[in-house]
Every structure is written in structure tokens, then in C-alpha cells.
Amino acid sequence: MAKEVRKVLIVDDEPDMREFAQAALEGEGYQLRLAADGGEGIEKAKSERPDLIIMDVQMPKKDGFSALYDLRQDPATKSIPVILLTGVAKKTGVRFSAETVEEYMGERPQAFLSKPVEADELRRTARRLLGG
């Protein structure tokens, strides 16, 4: 029996970051989908039903925190694992974690990675959350 292909949605307003995440994960056998902001990410999550979402925090229109909150409120998307990415620590020295995001937003991502993220770390985290 053929192995099920897992779908990963990458949501980031920076084209370079979308390309980086796509390049880091393309050898893993995932179907990759891309979105340029949180609103588009929510719509694609509803229509594509990805197995994992990798999402930037700082984006125009709808930021990653707000998008995570909206995803968790919808029964169709609430159980999709989310990895949040941010460069806030590099810019401000403020460090976030899944726990602090939960305290701040009332919703918790499955993982929180600081940019610049290493390709190996992104792959390991994705594999862990997808059970492989």
C-alpha cells in the first residue's frame, strides 16, 4: 500500500522565507502549499486541509497570532498542528515559546521556532509533528 502524502502549508509574507521553507522540506516527500499572509493561510487551510501549517508571526493584513487563534476556533482547522516562526527575538531580544504564546493568545502552537531557523531544525520539527 502506498504511503499517504502529507500536505504542508507554508504561510509567510516574505518570498525568500517561503522559498527557504519549501527548499528545506521538498526532499521530505510532502505536498507543499504556499500562502503570503495569515488571511490567505486560513483560507488555504480550510480548502486544502493540510496536515501541518508553518506560519510566520509578523505579517501584514493578518499576523500569525491572529491566524492561529482563528484556526483554533474553526472545527475544520482546530486540530491542524502549527509551527510558528518569528524573527522578533533577533530584532528585540524578546523570546517567545509555545507556552508564552498560549499565555498571550489563549491558543498554543505545537512548536515555536525563532528565525533564522536552520533547515534541519525545521525538518526535524515537521517530521515530529507529522509522526514520521
- Domains of the chain, residue spans: 7-127
Q: How far apart are the first and last CA of the chain?
A: 17
Query: What's the predicted TM-score (pTM) here?
Result: 0.88
For domain 7-127, which CATH number applies: 3.40.50.2300, 3.40.50.300, 3.30.70.20, 3.40.50.1820?
A: 3.40.50.2300
C-alpha–C-alpha distance, residues 75 and 10, integer Å: 20
pLDDT digits (tens, 9 = 90+) for 31-79: 999 999 999 999 999 999 999 999 999 898 899 989 999 999 999 999 9
Neighbours of 15 (CB within 10 A): 10
